[in-house]
A and B are shown apart, each in its own frame.
Chain A
Amino acid sequence: MPITTSDVSEYLRKVAEVLAENKEYLTELDSAIGDADHGINMDRGFQNVLRKLPAVEDKDIGTILKTAGMALVSSVGGASGPLYGTAFMQAGMAAAGKRELAAEDLLAILEAALKGVLMRGRANLGDKTMVDALTPAIDAMREALENGADLTEALDKATAAAEEGMKATIPLIAKKGRASYLGERSIGHQDPGATSSYLLIRTMAEMAHAKQA
């Protein structure tokens, strides 16, 4: 069953919900190695996405994603604003004109999103950023799809990889973002951006399960 425009809108609403629930948690993570606002930022950003959503819900997936991206950049305020904003906007470009997505399309979209993050933030793997969660997640998804897995399975694999990548940020020294100013003191803390990325992937998997049922 392909992913439809309403699935995408619903996904965005779900993400908003999840981020609202994890607001404190993300902020707490950011307070250890940043400026204690990542949860607040993400929540604010997605609340803004919710406000913009109704106007474009009947449009194609590309438009919806681009609108979400715009809503993020113009409201988040922190680094995650332009990063996730770019991610969603690039994703939107990859989905331009589409009203339905197959599993491969979703992969392509996620790859475009990651490319956007890399282009914007110039982070390398291991810099203790959201990239450390997103990269293995997408790799895992690709691999699963190549091995004939279906969307739900592939997203489960992606979620597991994201979680692993997220946890793997704990011993790392931050090389990008505010945390990088802490140097060695950033060791021992999980990266908030990697955590929110994991949540975004996980929400996708949860939706796939719900749809399958």
Chain B
Amino acid sequence: MIALVLVSHSRQLAEGVRELAAQMTGGQPVPIFAAGGTDEGTIGTSLDKIMQALDQALEAGEAAVILADLGSAVMTAQMAVEFLPPEAQQRVRLADAPFVEGAISAAATAAGGGDLTAVVEAARQAGALAKLYEESAPPASAEPPAADEAVAQTEVTIVNPTGLHARPAASFVQAATGFQAEITVENLSKGRPPANAKSVMAVLGQATAEQGERIRITARGPDAQAAVEALRALVESGFGELEEATGTPQAAPAQPDAEPTEAAQPGQTLRGIPAAEGIAIAPAWQFAVARPRVEKRRIAEPEAEIARLREAIARAKQALEKLQADVARDDAEAARIFEFQRTVLDDPAILAALEESIRREAINAEAAVEEVFGEWQARFRAMESPLLRLRAADIEDVSLRLLRELSGEEAAVALPDEPVILIARDLTPSDIAQIDMARIKAICTAGGGATSHVAILSRTRGLPAVVGLGEAILAVPTGTPLAVDGGRGLVVVEPSAEVIEGYRRRAERRERLRSIALQTREAAAETTDGHRVMVAANIGGVESAREAVAMGAEGVGLLRTEFLYLDRETLPDEEEQVAIYRAIAEVMGQRPVIVRTMDVGGDKPLPAIEQPPDKNPALGVRAIRLSRLYPDLFLTQLRAILRAAPGHNLQIMFPLITTLDEVRWAKAMVAEAKAALAAEGLACADDLPLGIMIETPAAAMKAEELAHEVDFFSIGSNDLTQYTMASDRENEHLRDLLTPLDPAVIRLIARTIEAGHAASIPVGLCGEMAGNRLAVPLLLGLGLDEFSMTAQSIPLTRQLIRALSQEEARSIAARVLSLTTAQEVESYLRNIAAEVETRLEAGR
């Protein structure tokens, strides 16, 4: 990393610019040192201070760039450099650049990993850029700007892995639209002209940016400053991007014309991008939505046609909203996919283009839709960024939807009766929503990447999926036998008998275990020697509560309440929450339901409230910390839970506890909520069990003390792993480190369970680990009381528990505790799992 040294006549200025520049680093640790003022603190420059700063900078960075505010600062800095040993001099450059802009630009480039020359150049160009802005200011309103019109501007580096693209671009535009000011955004790194920030098309057309690139946001108008700040905060927060951060966006294969299509040969294996795990063998089925035939017609009254179009757009928007809400009930993340499409329908550039083409050419709305959307689609397909190319499918989807609305036709998808492997060029979210997934065994697409809709949605539906297979997959005729391995991204065309056999054996084994498990799902999760544990579900809404019951969950170990807060502009009020908690509690009957208070903030920002910016969201203001910042929000939620509780078995759990103080505070808030409800004469449960999540090493280390404060523990193994291993869950390079089977994590878990039991409180675990077939014997042996997992994993887990004895599990745990590396633990547990599964198959 290149370090910066800021030399100014004024100590305050140097400090101030340091702060300003540090904001440009998007959380990257760019070392910046300020050397301002004389040794006495008066105005002037100090050779000593500069030399000190240089020493530190050369220590902290591979090289250093100096920025100075005035000529004499430059001169003193030059002298300081001359005093360095020759080797060090090589690593220092003085940037001939405006102090403030130069520093900001240099910091941003350094944060992006730029080398010495790049950083100096970035600083130098900051001056030119500033001028450029004045000469070619964005085309503002027709009227000359009022003298007092505010102009605000900022430059910021894109930090999220996907960059400023589809969904981020949509949220950017949404945020921009909320302001009166005229706003433009431009990609400085690519040197593109400014784009209207209120048009998603304009933004996507000329202002897209990749991670690490710098954009400039300019606003002019009364709320310019606020607009620029809000947009910057949004960019800096990484657009609240979640699912996309879980993997590197992978390039879709080359476009059709670049790659000659060859029909797949029998036995040929096509390689794609693994999108969702699982194995399937079934005939291929080519999915193609019939595109309504559009005839271009002359129309007499363009205005009437425009009105018809507007109505169709309004209906399409409603339909999208409904679709989004439906999907959101189950999977708030996946629902965000529709956000982009909605924004397209709101896009001023598109709307204007549609209306103009109707007016100018006097053509029917359908023809205009085809023309305008076709153009945009072509534009997207031709884009450099694979992510943007993926969005072409969204545009296609929106246009189809509009055409259907205009014609009043329903899209009908007739699936064959036999289960099939669905093949498509790309599937749009609405395609997926329309298809009866019960008849699909796997999905294969030509386009798409690991972060495409297909990938996301099939994962949530538990369907194996391979994407990015290229044109070859489209050449496979319907009915051709296929074998799909979603986890490895393989599709075998007309597989040989052996291949089928191999795939089948693996698939069957899973299936068999699963069906045995399903048959025995009512059986208690009891070991062969009579030790009983509870197997519960992690849920996020009413739908998943039903699924949990269907899968035999004995309760809910984790009700995520985030869905109530995310993806909406307003906060859920008490009544809304009471209704939802009640609805869920009703589905669960007398089974216990642990309601976790809002685990939002950090990387799951709430649109409805203002959050302190977090450079490092995982370590920032989230979960209980956000509750402490917004006690009213928290209180509303507590009141709602308390009110929903009578007649049900609700429990409250606080997330991300690190100190005793937080627990005491949360308990006091519960008491306060109770008192208030009592005073208002509202019925509420009096003695809800209160528990905490143990998901920080701090909490695990203090489990003994914490145990005395609460009625139960629930170990959040995902976060506990991330924090213990100091590895960001979203960082794909750290996948190897991020294993809950690392001895450090296991020891913290063991410790937590022990402490809980010493205080006679039950200890559960509600991370992915609870349903992991390798981890279950270990957790059982450590004495875990409750295993909470996605409903899908319940049958197998319960079955596994029933195949083990507590004595055996204890010795497994003892053995694991003596191991020193995650690899050892994993291979040992893998053997155990294989052994137990063989036993299971043989036994029944």
Contact = CB atoms under 8 A, between A and B. Distances in A.
A and B from one assembly?
yes
Interface of A: 35, 37, 41, 73-83, 85-86, 120-121, 176-178
A35 B76 contact: no
A41 B40 CA distance: 12
B112 interface: no
B411 interface: no
Nearest to B45: A77
B809 to A, nearest CB: 72
Given A77-B46, A120-B75, 17 more contacts: A37-B43, A37-B44, A73-B47, A73-B76, A74-B48, A75-B39, A76-B44, A77-B45, A78-B72, A82-B47, A82-B76, A82-B78, A120-B78, A121-B75, A176-B71, A177-B72, A178-B70
B79 A85 contact: yes
Pick the most buried of B43, B46, B71, B72: most chain A CB atoms within 10 A of its CB.
B72
Contacts of A80: 72
Contacts of B46: 74, 77
B36 to A, nearest CB: 11
Given A176-B71, A177-B71, A82 B44 contact: no
Pick the most buried of A41, A81, A86, A121: most chain B CB atoms within 10 A of its CB.
A81
B67 to A, nearest CB: 17
Interface in B32-61: 38-39, 42-48
B84 to A, nearest CB: 14
Given A73-B47, A74-B47, A77-B38, A82 B79 contact: yes
B141 to A, nearest CB: 34
Contacts of B44: 37, 41, 76-78, 81
Contacts of B79: 73, 82, 85-86, 120
Contact of B72 (A74, A75, A79): A79
Contacts of A78: 44-45, 72
A175 B277 CA distance: 71
A178 B46 CA distance: 17
A35 B42 CA distance: 12
Nearest to B48: A74
Contacts of B48: 74
A176 B75 CA distance: 12
Interface string B76-88: 1011000000000
A177 B72 CA distance: 7
A74 B47 CA distance: 5
A78 B44 CA distance: 5
B72 A35 contact: no
A85 B39 CA distance: 17
A178 B45 CA distance: 14
16 contacts: A35-B43, A73-B47, A74-B46, A77-B38, A77-B42, A77-B44, A77-B45, A78-B44, A78-B72, A80-B72, A81-B72, A81-B75, A81-B76, A82-B72, A82-B78, A82-B79
Nearest to A74: B47
Contacts of B38: 77
Contacts of A37: 43-44
A75 B42 CA distance: 12
Contacts of B72: 78-82, 177-178
A141 B47 CA distance: 33
Contacts of A177: 71-72
Contacts of A86: 75, 79
Interface in B353-375: none
A82 B76 CA distance: 5
B442 to A, nearest CB: 71
A94 B43 CA distance: 33
A41 B38 CA distance: 11
Contacts of A120: 75, 78-79
A35 B72 CA distance: 13
Contacts of A178: 70-72
A35 B38 CA distance: 15
B99 to A, nearest CB: 14
Contacts of B47: 73-74, 81-82
B70 to A, nearest CB: 7
A81 B71 contact: no
A166 to B, nearest CB: 20
Pick the most buried of B42, B43, B71: most chain A CB atoms within 10 A of its CB.
B71
B82 to A, nearest CB: 9
Interface in B249-282: none
Contacts of B43: 35, 37, 77
Interface string B7-51: 000000000000000000000000000000011001111111000
A167 B43 CA distance: 28
A204 to B, nearest CB: 24
Given A73-B79, A121-B75, A81 B70 contact: no
Contacts of B70: 178
A75 B46 CA distance: 7
B42 A79 contact: no
B38 to A, nearest CB: 4
A43 to B, nearest CB: 13
A83 B42 contact: no
A75 B48 CA distance: 9
Nearest to A73: B47
A76 B42 CA distance: 11
A120 B46 CA distance: 16
A177 B70 CA distance: 8
Contacts of A121: 71, 75
Interface in B71-105: 71-72, 75-76, 78-79
A62 B335 CA distance: 77
A8 B618 CA distance: 65
A37 B42 CA distance: 11
B45 A81 contact: yes
A82 B51 CA distance: 14
Contacts of A73: 47, 76, 79
Nearest to B51: A74
A90 B105 CA distance: 36
A76 B70 CA distance: 15
A192 B71 CA distance: 16
A178 B72 CA distance: 9
A75 B70 CA distance: 17
A23 to B, nearest CB: 16
A178 to B, nearest CB: 7
A78 B43 CA distance: 8
Contacts of B45: 77-78, 81
A6 to B, nearest CB: 28
Nearest to A89: B79
A76 B39 CA distance: 10
A77 B39 CA distance: 9
A74 B39 CA distance: 9
Contacts of A41: 44
Nearest to A76: B44
